Structure formats: structure tokens, C-alpha cells
Chain A
Amino acid sequence: MSTVSLAADKATGPVSTGPAVSLWRSIPIGAWLGVLPFIAFALLFLIVPTLFLVSSAFVDRDGNLTLQNIIDLGTDQVVNAFSISIRISAASAFFGALIGLAMALAIIRGRLPSAIRSTVMTFSGVASNFAGLPLAFAFIATLGRLGLVTVILRTVFGFDIYKSGFNLLSFVGLTLTYLYFQIPLMILIIAPAIDGLKKEWSEAAATLGASRWQFWLYIGFPVLWPNLLGTLSLLFANAFGAIATAYALTGSSLNIVPILLYAQIRGDVLHNPGLGAALALGMIVITACANVLYIVVRTRAERWLK
């Protein structure tokens, strides 16, 4: 609650506004009626379906309790999918964070014209929302086998990226594509933190004889560190749950968890409904861990950036 309304609350507290009004104020039935639809909706369409799904991971075909589905997650196909998913998410989060940080530093502390900063921020808002199928189409048109850049590199420069081992429908290609929404997201989240590095700090450091590297090593980086770690986990979760881009790009040729789960929901490719639920449970555990890390670290980070 903001201090403004707190003050207003105190100020208007003693004023009597008639019996009907004070009754409404003392028993917050009206307030509860207002919150009720929200709670009911969240229970019905968010919490209960998720819990129901997760709990069905512990039930076998005949309705008995079992841990077999969880154990079955250890099969090669599933382990493989999780491993590829985690590697792609980690790689796109890491490089997204690194490049996003470099770009944010460049536009905020690199003394570029201020118009560039607002343009980059606006563009980041758009690009971080430009995911899914259209993003895949754009990269196919650019770096696919017949993509414009591929063709130009081959015909003009005589360099065939596909002959030298590049493939858009692979680990590297998917990571490169994911960076298109990961970098802007990083810029959007880290920019306020970089703004929070006060000018006085670098002046004080300079007065004490610190070089720019020493400033970053002992002041800038330690202050930004919690934010970096937090954003990293957010980017990881962001990539881990994404499916539309990967699906449009690779069809079902790349075995990542969301695509495996998609195939499982459509046609029970794992031949065990319970295993599908266990797969979902595994995904939730991983994204939840990443998000919890983000929230914990974020609260820590906010101490410095007020």
C-alpha cells in the first residue's frame, strides 16, 4: 500500500459517514464478494487443473497410487529431451543475458545519443513479445536453406553456411532464434538496475584512484550481480516453456520437452498417460525452481537500487 493512501486512510478514519456506510466498512462482505470471482477463477482454471494434472502423475492406469511414472522419466527418450531442453534454455539464457547486458551498458553508459536509448527500449518491448510462429518464419526466411542471408552468402561471397556445419533446425539454430526474444527481455529487465548505479559511486571510486575496471570489478558488478542471476533464471524459464517457435522451426525433429509433451497430448506417443503427467510435473519443477530463484534474488537486489 502506498503512503499516500495510508495517510488518506488515517485522515478520513474518524469521519462518520452514516450507519449504512460504516456497516459496509466494518464487515467487508462487499470486499469479499469482489475478490471472490477472481479467487474462484484462479482455482477453477489455474490451480485445480495444474494440481489435478500433477497428481495424476502418481496414479497408474488402474487408478492405484504409484511412483512408476516418475521412475519412467528415466527412460532414454525423456532424459534426452530434458537434457536438450535444459541445454538450449541455459545457452539462450546465458548468451541472452551476456549480450543484453552489453547492449544495455552500451546504450545507457556508453554516451550514445539519447534517442538511441529510447528507440532500443521501445524495440525491446516489441521484440520480447515477438515470439512463437512468426519468429520461426522470420528466421527460416533469413537463415533457412533458402533464406535470404544464406543465399546471399553463398552467391555473393561463395560461403555456404550449411556446408560448414550450420543448421537452423539444430541446437545452435534454435538458440540463435531464441536470442531474438531473450536479449530484448534482458535489456528491459536490466536497464533499471544499470540506471540504479549511481553516478556518485563511480565518481567516488575515481576520486579514490580506481580505474574503470576496478570500479566494475569491486562496485558495479557486485551490485548488479543479484539482478544478473535473477534475470538469468527468468530467461531460462522463459525459454524452457516455449514451444511454438521450436515447433514451427523443427517440426518434431528436435526432441525437446515441450514438443515431446505436445506429441504426447495429441497422440500418447509415450504409450502411457501417466508418463505425460510426470513429464508435466518435471517441467513445472524446473520452471518453478528458476522462478523462485528469480524472486529470492530479486528481493535481495532491490536493497541497493532504490
Chain B
Amino acid sequence: MIARRFWAWVVFGLGAAYFLLPLLATFIFSMQMRRDRLTFDAYLSVFADERFQSTFTYSLLCAVFAIIVGIIIVLPAAYFVRLRLQWLRPVMEFITLLPLIVPPIILVFGHIKLFNSSSILPLTNSTFGTDVLIVCGYVTLALPYMYRAIDTGLRTIDVQTLTEAATILGADPIRTMVQVIFPNIFVAVLSGAFLTFAIVIGEFVLASLLNRPAFGVYMQNVGANRAYEPSALAIISFALTWGAMGVIQLLDRFAPRTARQA
């Protein structure tokens, strides 16, 4: 018994060292921009960089649009599959699994080939078209997470009864979805949204191959040319990821209580 606990502590300690050491080292490294003392100058240099602000804003906007588009296409589909088209469920599961099987680099390669300037739908011809394409790419990458989040949310409420009640009161399907179903699974939708945000904000491959000024491309650029700023960016990214995941965990804790009462 004592031996077991001893080994558990050893394993945990080694693991903690492996996971915390890089974070600690990166943090200290990021503060060594001045030779003689520790400062936050690398962070100031990053935040003051005009390209940081513009690329971060660009990626943030991409994330917002990807979240909106994702909700608009996934919510009705998941809702009606649960309500009326149960036999479609395996198809939905298969489709939402595909982005995990097809690596992002292949997805964007396909997009470039299908939507290039000589195709029927030449999205890559204009900046706006490429922006549309990259948002759709991000929606696709986030599809497995968005679908699972929304589907889990729908499972915790009584979709059938809520729909019946709303219908009796005279609501059409769209109104039922927007005013009854959506508020009831809002917490689940939010966790899907934050996962989408975590995926999009530092994404590199799509943005780089579509030549869009996203945060990931900026980070790659800084990584290739600077010494201390990349570590600052790593810490900032880790904080962002931690923030997004922390919000999801918090939401998970509150989700069942608010949802089941519906």
C-alpha cells in the first residue's frame, strides 16, 4: 500500500516536471530580453507590434465568423436529427468524424484545388472569397467539436416535449429553435464556441497556404526571425488556451443544473 502510493508520487512528480519545466523555462526565457535583469520587454515588444494587433484581430474575426456559421449549420441539423430523422444519426456521426481523419493540410489542399481561379466557384480569386474560404475551412476543422457539444446539449434536455409545447403555443420550427431550444442548450453551444476559438486562433496551415494574414502565420514569422518574442508568444498562447479550456470546464460544471430543469 505504501509502496503503491510512493510509486504514484514518483510517476506524478516526473510527469509534473516534464509538463511544467518547459512552461517555466519558456517564461523565464521570455523575460531575458535585457541582458542584466528580468523584464517583460519581450511582451511589450509583441503587444506594440502593429502586425500582432492586425493578425490577432484577423484571427479573432475568423473565429467569430466560424463560430456563427458553425452554430447556424450544426444546430438545426442536430436538432432535427434528434427530433425526426433519427436514422440520419450515423451519417451525421460519420461526417463529423471526417475532419479528424482528413488532416487539415489535405483539407486546404483540396480547397485550393477545388476553388482555384479556373474552377466553377473561384473563391481564391478575391480577398473576400479567400476569407470566406478560410472561415469555411475553420468551420470544417471545428465541426467534430461543435457537433458533439451541441448534440450533448440536446441530449440533456427533452427536445420532443419542448418542441410539442412550443408548437401548441403556435411557434413555427424556426422560432422554436431560436427561442426555445437555443436558450436551453446555450451553455453547450458556448463550450463548442470556445473550442472553435481555441482551434482557430493560432491555426497556421490553412492561413499560410491560403496566404491570409492570420495570427498563426505571424507567430511563424516571429519564430523564424526573433529570439525572445517567440517565447512570449508561446506563453500568451498557452494563457489563451488555458482561458478557453477553463471557461469550458466552468460551463460544464454549471451545464447540467441549468439544462435539466427545462
Contacts and interface: CB of A to CB of B under 8 A. Distances in A.
A5 to B, nearest CB: 5
Contact of A141 (B77, B98, B205, B234): B234
B159 interface: yes
Given A110-B7, A266-B209, A1 B82 contact: yes
Contacts of A280: 106, 109-110
A220 B98 CA distance: 32
Q: Is the interface of B mostly helix, strand, loop or mixed?
A: helix
Which of under 10, 10 to 19, 20 to 34, or 35 or more describes the interface residues of B?
35 or more
Given A137-B233, A241-B103, 19 more contacts: A24-B167, A28-B80, A32-B80, A35-B76, A35-B80, A35-B81, A45-B136, A46-B107, A46-B143, A49-B107, A50-B102, A53-B109, A53-B110, A106-B7, A142-B25, A262-B105, A265-B108, A276-B109, A295-B97
A145 to B, nearest CB: 12
Contacts of B110: 49-50, 52-53, 280
Interface stretch (B14-22, B48-56, B57-65, B182-190): B14-22
Given A34-B80, A112-B9, A45 B103 contact: no
B140 interface: yes
B127 interface: no
8 closest A-B pairs (Cβ-Cβ)? A110-B8, A241-B103, A49-B110, A38-B77, A34-B76, A134-B237, A148-B25, A141-B29
Contacts of A262: 105, 205, 209
B125 to A, nearest CB: 17
A52 B114 contact: yes
B22 A142 contact: yes
9 contacts: A38-B92, A39-B95, A46-B102, A49-B110, A132-B202, A133-B219, A138-B22, A248-B223, A291-B97
A301 interface: no
Interface in A91-118: 99, 102-103, 105-107, 109-112, 116
Contacts, number: 284
Which of under 10, 10 to 19, 20 to 34, or 35 or more describes the interface residues of A?
35 or more
Contacts of B83: 31
B139 interface: yes
A45 B173 CA distance: 27
Which of A134, A140, A146, A291 has the most C-beta atoms of chain B within 10 angstroms of its own C-beta?
A134
Interface in B9-44: 9, 11-12, 15, 18-19, 21-23, 25-26, 28-30
Given A12-B161, A106-B12, A147-B29, A133 B84 contact: no
Contacts of A56: 113
A28 B25 contact: no
Contact of A34 (B173, B219, B223): B173
Q: Is the interface of A mostly helix, strand, loop or mixed?
A: helix
Interface string B106-132: 111111111100000000000000000
A197 to B, nearest CB: 15
Contact of B103 (A123, A134, A287): A287
Interface string A207-220: 00000000000000
B205 A46 contact: no
Contact of B11 (A4, A32, A106): A106
A121 B227 CA distance: 33
Interface in A145-185: 146-149, 179-180, 183-184
Contacts of A143: 22
B19 A180 contact: yes
Nearest to A9: B160
B116 to A, nearest CB: 11
Nearest to A149: B25
Interface string A41-83: 1101111111011001000000000000000000000000000
Contacts of B19: 123, 127, 180, 183-184
